[in-house]
Every structure is written in structure tokens, then in C-alpha cells.
Amino acid sequence: MNDSAHPLSAIDPSTAVVSLGRPPREVGAALNPPIALASTFVGWDTPDGDTDRGYARFANASWEPLEAAVAALEGSPLPALAYASGMAAVSAALSLVPVGGVALVPATSYNGTIGLARSLAEAGALRLREIDPCDIEATVAAMDGADLIWLESPTNPLLEVVDLPRLIGAARERGVRTVVDNTFSTPLRQRPFEHGADVVVHSATKFIAGHSDVLLGIVATRDAETRARLVAQRTLHGAIAGPFEAWLALRGLRTLSLRLDRAEATAGELARRLSAASGVSRVRYPGLPDDPGHALATAQLDGYGALVSIELAGGADHADAFVRALRLVTPATSLGGVETLAERRRRQTSEPVQVPESLVRLSIGIEHVDDLWADISQALEAAAR
């Protein structure tokens, strides 16, 4: 990707995550922003939008450094908005669909996203068209009369790479708002605004916070009118971020580059080893040269990420046995933390049926690659017995 197009081109993003969101430099001032543990703020004049705190549901000094930092990393001149969870951020973005409007959502999106979209459709709040974004022609055809298209790339948990420039370009030509969930890539690997996206969503619980101790969501946009709508939605619906959670997420952001570089390097090596492992029928990782999304990922991304999905040859029972046999890797449903996690995704009853029963998603952490491989190898052997 052309670094000159990045708004932080004067400094490397690995430097930006350390320097963004700091208080002004003053003698004796704190290096880190404070935590504002207050529900109420002094004021007597007419409130001035979201710049006048007034009450902690409207704004909070603890959110603002994180919101400014993520916006800058994504390439937006407007502060992002922090939410109580990733799903709160997803809900806010889907609220941009007018009542009765049409939303295009991939059938194999994160199960919370497609589940919420289906729930809204059942309630008559929107009309849902489920799409396969890797089928460009069918997706573009489905855009006729649509109000919003939701995209992930790589997708969760199939790790398919979507042609964002083509789909976003087609959506803009047709006046369709584009939302991109950038949780997997983070702004260090992909910046959807550079391709023309309208809204970017993060579950900051994952890589941004990075330590499996925070629930937090973030929505960013470059359009002031859209941002005003989102501010109003957050204020009225009340899914606000906690001040301590926002502070922790900003602290986690400081090490994002180090964590992601380490995890990504390990993920690539594990994917290569797994490709030759007995009992593994398929490895899904866009960094592998034979992965269907490899060429597109190489063109679009600044790295292949820290998620690896594998399919076990023996089916669901084999996959369950593999997960149960792990000793260092933790069986858990989340991702993006410093520890490596594994989950057979179809154990979740809400997981789309298009996800293979034997698929295990691995979120690679920062442990030593050989220790992880030793654990994965013994678990594969144990599952095959």
C-alpha cells in the first residue's frame, strides 16, 4: 500500500500508536491522560453538542484520547466514538439504515453481526439481503435499492479476503453507505477509509485493547453529519464506554504494533507447519501462497494478521477432541489478546451454517512459536487416537 496516502505518513504507525492520545506537553503534567471518574460535570450555559460534557452519558474526558487516537490511525479528521462493547458499536452502525431500508450483510459475518441484522429484519426495522461478498457480481447486483452494505475483510471466521476497493467503489456509485468491520486487521494492517468506506467499526475488546480484560467498541466516520447521528444514537441509547475501560484500551493501543507483529509472524509460521500436519484437511490463512485470498491480501493489506482457521479431517468430534487436548493454548471464544485461543466455532449455536463443523479458529498470541507448536502438535496427535 502506498504509505504516502496515509495521514500519518510522516511517522510510522508503530510510532503513532505510542504518541497519539497524549495530553499537552507541559512541565509537571502527567504523561498519560487521567481517568475521569465522574458522572456529572459543572455547567450552566446551553450545552454545545458533544463538546460540552455536562453529563457522563454525553461525553467523558476518558474516552476522548482513545477516540482521537483511533480516528487518526484510521485516517479520519473527526474523533471516533467509543461504545460499551463491540456489539454496541455494530448496533450503532446498523442504526444508520433507515426504518424499512435495505441492508446487505454477509451470511458468514461475525455471528453477532448477522444475528443482529436478522433480528432487526424480523422486527421490521430493516430489510436484509444476505450476500457473499467474495462473489463480486452478485454483491454488486444486490446493491440496487440498498441503503447500507456491511463488509469484513478478512472475514470471521473463514478468513476470506474481500475486494474492498471494488465493492466500496460500486457502493459509492450507487449511493450505498459502506461499513467495514476492521477488527481483524486493525488500522495498522488496513485502513478502509483509503478505499472510500463511510464507516469503520472495531471491537476494541480484541486487538486494540489486547489483553482480554476490556469490553469496548469503536465507530469512526469521516462525515460530520453521520457522526452527529451516531452521537445522538449513543447518547439516547446509552451504550457508552466506561472511563476505566477506555483508559485501558488506550494503554493497550500503545503496544499494538509490537503485539501484532509478534502474533502475525507466529501465525504465519504455524500456518505453514499446519499445512503439512496430519489430521488437518485445510488451513485458512491469507499469508499462505496457495490461499485463495493471498494475492488480494498482498495487494490490500500491510500484513496477513494473527488469525488462523483450520479444518480437522475427522469432523466435529475430531475438532472437539483437538481443542480439549490443548494445554498451553486456551479454549475460549474471543481473539486478539496476548494469549493464544482456540475454538471450534460451530459449538456456538448462533454460528452461520456455512462455517464447517470441523473449523477451529486460532487467535495467535505472543507466546514462543515452538511452545505453541509443541502444544498444537500433541493435541493433534491426541485427537487422532
- The SS3 of residue 295 is helix
Which of these is catalytic: 50, 147, 181, 320? 181
Which of these is catalytic: 50, 83, 110, 345? 110
45 is catalytic: no
The answer to whether the Cα torsion of 178, 179, 182, 187 is positive or negative is positive
Alpha-carbon torsion angle 60, 96, 8, 364, nearest 10: 90
- CA distances 113 to 55, 175, 236, 268, Å, are 30, 22, 21, 27
Spatial distance between the Cα atoms of 322 and 53, rounded to a whole number of angstroms: 51
Widest pairwise Cα distance in the chain: 72
In the chain, beta strands by DSSP E: 81-83, 101-106, 126-131, 148-152, 177-181, 199-203, 217-221, 280-284, 307-312, 330-331, 341-344, 359-363
Q: Is the peptide bond before 286 cis (omega within 30 degrees of 0)?
A: no
- CB 133 within 8 Å of CB 272: no
Give the three cell numbers for residue 70.
483511533
Which of these is catalytic: 53, 177, 206, 222? 206
57 is catalytic: yes
- CB 173 within 8 Å of CB 144: no
Could you say which DSSP state residue 242 is in? Answer: P
Alpha-carbon torsion angle 209, 114, 177, 122, nearest 10: -130
Spatial distance between the Cα atoms of 163 and 343, rounded to a whole number of angstroms: 27
- CB 358 within 8 Å of CB 314: yes
Which of these is catalytic: 22, 57, 282, 347? 57
- CA distances 366 to 255, 322, 329, 361, Å, are 12, 21, 11, 16
110 is catalytic: yes
DSSP per-residue letters across 195-211:
GT-SEEEEETTTTTT-S
Spatial distance between the Cα atoms of 12 and 78, rounded to a whole number of angstroms: 21
Question: Where in the sequence numbering do the catalytic residues fall?
Answer: 57, 110, 181, 206
